[in-house]
Structure 1
Amino acid sequence: MNQFFTAVLQRPAEPAALERYTQALDSIRPYLTASALGDAISLLEQIEEHVDFDNRIADEARNKLGMHGC
């Protein structure tokens, strides 16, 4: 099994919740391998949906990650 997982978190607007959220992220920071503040999922969807995008690239990447059919 892969040692990594991906999580998508919604940043809370309420100040007390935001403080707890920030503390939680700080506590796992030593274990983070990557993070993004933007909407990377939407960006990747736009790239894959572009008329010039070769779907074989996405298929090959999914196969390498064991994500067949995703």
Structure 2
Amino acid sequence: MDRYTTLVIRMPEDEASLKKVKLLTDALMPFATGISTEDEMTILEKIEGHDNFDPNIAKDARKQTLALHKQLENNKQDNKPRT
């Protein structure tokens, strides 16, 4: 069975580091099964970095996400077989 790893790279600003990243990503290309620069993480990063973005929106979203994770974890516990 094949094993997959997802790798997210924050692109550096300076030219020397960009060259290193390009060399490494070029070396990985024979093994790549998919590439995306228009994914949810990238889009969210651009939204949160916008000058008009209210940081309270991100705080609220993270709070809701934590609550969702807790709810899912509780559901897992409720669905465990009882012995």
Q: Structure 1: which 4+ aligned runs deviate by more than 2 Å?
A: 38-43
Q: TM-score normalised to the size of structure 2?
A: 0.45
Which ranges in structure 2 are unaligned for 5 or more consecutive residues?
A: 44-68, 70-83
- Change in CA separation of 1:42 and 1:10 when aligned onto 2, cut-off 3 Å: closer
User: One-letter code of the match for 1:14?
Assistant: D
Give the equivalent residue in structure 2 for 1:27.
27
Which structure carries more helix by proportion? 2
Q: TM-score normalised to the size of structure 1?
A: 0.52
Per-residue displacement from partner, 1:17-50 (whole Å, max 9, x unpaired)? 000000100001000000111233366xxxxxxx
Which ranges in structure 1 are unaligned for 5 or more consecutive residues?
A: 44-68
Larger radius of gyration: 2
Q: Does 1:16 align with 2:16?
A: yes
Task: Report sequence identity in percent.
Answer: 23
Larger relative contact order (CA 8 Å, sep ≥ 6) = 1
